[in-house]
Amino acid sequence: MEEKWWKKSVVYQIYPRSFQDSNGDGIGDLAGITARLEYIRELGADTIWLSPIYKSPNDDNGYDISDYQDIMTEFGSMADFDAMLEKAHALGLKIVMDLVVNHSSDEHRWFVKSRSSRDNPYRDYYIWREGKNGGLPNNWGSCFGGSVWEYDGKTDMYYLHLFSKKQPDLNWDNPVVRDEIFRMMDWWLQKGIDGFRMDVISLISKPEGLPDGEPGPNGYASFQLSANGPHEHEYLREMNRRVLSKYDLLTVGECAGVTLEEAKSYANLDGSELSMVFQFEHMEADFHPTLGRYAEQHKNLPRLKEILSRWQRELDGIAWNSLYWDNHDQPRVVSRYGSEKEEYRELSAKMLATCLHMMQGTPYVYQGEELGMTNYPWTSIDQINDIESLGNYRAFRDRGYMNEEEGIRMMRARSRDNARTPMQWDAGPEAGFTTGTPWLPVNPNYPVINAAEQIARPDSVFHYYQKLIALRREKDVIVYGHYELLEPEHPDLFVYTRTLGDESLLVICNFSEREQTYEIPAEYRGAEILIANYPVPAPAGTLRPWEATVLYRS
């Protein structure tokens, strides 16, 4: 396989709003990030993905951009950005920026002009349609609840928004739009950034004629109908040819609705499109059969294993995987697949980290994951800020699928705000995140779960992540080894091997608090323990609650 720096990387994701506030307004900012860069270096990650920091009215916390070449007022200035980039590079940290170009904000000057008349030059920057039979142009539902169509009285037409009505979709079929976007990307790359994480890039090419789809429980067809559209790969190859290929970058496409077959194009090792994709199949392994994400969790380990293993096996040698449990859109993995119980929280956090970090692909660590941060104990819908949680809760409530109490239970298990509570730095006021009032409450468990305590304690989750990251640098078998799943049907154990030439790994993870019996395959008996989450090995043939062990042979 061709050596590319990002194949050996570990990426740390920062959600700037919740990472570190530097001026007491309760909102994280660029100066806060700059002050904490040493922490990321100490952890060992070499690349940072910054969620959006561009000018934005914050309808969706920066995923609605009103100026792609300016900084969000709350986050600071372009000078703050330049200072952050310079210090990051001086510390050997690369910076990957979020690129949100499926849609802009409705406050972007392009959209302001676009909606002003039917025949202005910006009209076709966005997707405008007439109503059909006195109703909406089609039956698609937005990711945040309700229709994807917003009626605009000024010109008596509807515009398409797969997300909120303040996030109108850009029209990628218009070559002038592609020119604008590619020029803007180049401007950032000239500044010296090291790549892009491309927001819902799989949705940019809309299907011909925008046809109706099968409606789901919310009454609408899924917005994901526009995934992997007819010109998707053509546009990405154009972007690659005109912009990306001129630099040495990490590019990761967030690909809602991507299939394995599609990923083989998006993330092909020939470098014609992107370095890798974020797929969603494994995030959907615990979905409710009808309500999908918006219900309590339906855990199913064999299904999770089948999905991850299929991606491991089938991309091997063809395309490159990304590896993630957490991001700013997902509940915290310890609460999801691990245990919040005091005696098991750290063990389970380390087990989950082991399971992911020993796979082939580039691992992503979302801020606080390296501490085993957990979901927030929401007690009221009023505490929720996230537009997606609120929009979908209201839609399901109005259709009689859930009452408020069920809604709160759903938020505890699922809301994106579980990931967005402030980073827990220390046991001081507001966990050291701000000297003011944080925009979202700090998780009350911060006196127990915080970075200062974990850095000082050698057996913490933080130091375990540090070790996993260091191992990836040392052992090629972790980066490149071929993957094989063992025990596919076991309801609680996730066991796999990695092999590269004479080197091999056996990864054993107990996804339960039950003791298990498990006979280690003969060829691994007596092998070196590369890393484990208990200080001493279990008696032969057994596994303790949430145990993880990696055995190494060469």
* Least spacing, CB of residue 138 vs ligand TEU, in Å: 19
Alpha carbons 10 and 361: distance in angstroms, whole number: 9
* Partner from ligand TEU, Ca ion, none binding residue 25, C-beta < 5-8 Å depending on class: Ca ion
Site for ligand TEU in 394-453 (CB under 6 A): 416
* Partner from Ca ion, ligand TEU, none binding residue 199, C-beta < 5-8 Å depending on class: ligand TEU
Collect all residues with Cβ–Cβ distance below 8 Å to 70 and sequence separation of at least 6. 54, 55, 78
Q: Closer to Ca ion at the Cβ: 147 or 434?
A: 434
Residue 2 annotated as catalytic: no
Per rule CB under 6 A, is residue 384 in the interface with ligand TEU? Answer: no
Per rule CB under 6 A, is residue 15 in the interface with ligand TEU? Answer: no
* Partner from Ca ion, ligand TEU, none binding residue 55, C-beta < 5-8 Å depending on class: none
Q: Closer to Ca ion at the Cβ: 29 or 262?
A: 29
Site for Ca ion in 187-246 (CB under 5 A): none
Quick one: which segment of 22-30, 261-269, 395-403, 405-413 binds Ca ion (CB under 5 A)?
A: 22-30
Query: Of 63, 128, 311, 425, which lies in the binding site for ligand TEU, with binding defined by CB under 6 A?
Result: 63
In sequence order, the β-bridge partners of residue 152 are 157
For 459-527, strand residue ranges (E) read 482-486, 493-500, 503-510, 516-517
Please state, in angstroms and as integers, the Cα–Cα distance from residue 194 to each residue in 5, 81, 89, 190, 479, following that order.
11, 14, 10, 10, 21
Alpha carbons 108 and 167: distance in angstroms, whole number: 10
Per rule CB under 6 A, is residue 99 in the interface with ligand TEU? Answer: no
**Signed CA dihedral, 246, 250, 254, 260: sign only:** positive
Please answer whether residues 169 and 207 qualify as being in contact, where contact means their C-beta atoms are separated by less than 8 angstroms. no
Please answer whether residues 490 and 476 qualify as being in contact, where contact means their C-beta atoms are separated by less than 8 angstroms. no
Quick one: which segment of 4-12, 27-35, 283-291, 313-321 binds Ca ion (CB under 5 A)?
A: 27-35
Alpha carbons 137 and 215: distance in angstroms, whole number: 15
* Least spacing, CB of residue 281 vs ligand TEU, in Å: 12
Per rule CB under 6 A, is residue 262 in the interface with ligand TEU? Answer: no
* Least spacing, CB of residue 90 vs ligand TEU, in Å: 29
Per rule CB under 5 A, is residue 435 in the interface with Ca ion? Answer: no
Collect all residues with Cβ–Cβ distance below 8 Å to 459 and sequence separation of at least 6. 535
Please answer whether residues 244 and 298 qualify as being in contact, where contact means their C-beta atoms are separated by less than 8 angstroms. no
Per rule CB under 5 A, is residue 286 in the interface with Ca ion? Answer: no
Rounded (to 5) percent helix, strand, coil in the chain? 35, 20, 45
* Least spacing, CB of residue 329 vs ligand TEU, in Å: 4
Q: Which of 21, 64, 169, 254 is catalytic?
A: 254
Q: Closer to ligand TEU at the Cβ: 64 or 194?
A: 64
Q: Closer to ligand TEU at the Cβ: 60 or 326?
A: 60
Query: Of 16, 20, 21, 390, which lies in the binding site for Ca ion, with binding defined by CB under 5 A?
Result: 21
* Least spacing, CB of residue 388 vs ligand TEU, in Å: 5
Residue 199 annotated as catalytic: yes
Q: Which of 29, 199, 273, 369 is catalytic?
A: 199
Site for Ca ion in 28-87 (CB under 5 A): 29
Alpha carbons 433 and 444: distance in angstroms, whole number: 13
Per rule CB under 6 A, is residue 333 in the interface with ligand TEU? Answer: no
Binding mask 279-298 for ligand TEU (x = CB under 6 A): --------------x-----
Alpha carbons 66 and 533: distance in angstroms, whole number: 46
Binding mask 104-143 for ligand TEU (x = CB under 6 A): ---------------------------------------x
Q: Closer to ligand TEU at the Cβ: 105 or 360?
A: 105
Residues 279-297 as b/e (b if ≥16 CB within 10 A, e otherwise) read bbbbbebbbeeebebbbeb
Q: Which two tokens stand for residue 202?
A: 């799989």
CB atoms within 10 A of CB 121: 10
Tokens 């799943």 belong to 485
DSSP 368: T
Per rule CB under 6 A, is residue 60 in the interface with ligand TEU? Answer: yes
* Least spacing, CB of residue 251 vs ligand TEU, in Å: 16
Alpha carbons 45 and 367: distance in angstroms, whole number: 11
Site for ligand TEU in 148-167 (CB under 6 A): 163
Q: Alpha-carbon dihedral of residues 159, 165, 167, 171, nearest 10 degrees? A: -10
Interacting residues with Ca ion (CB under 5 A): 21, 23, 25, 27, 29
Q: Which residues are catalytic?
A: 199, 254
Interacting residues with ligand TEU (CB under 6 A): 60, 63, 100, 143, 163, 199-200, 254, 256, 293, 328-329, 388, 416
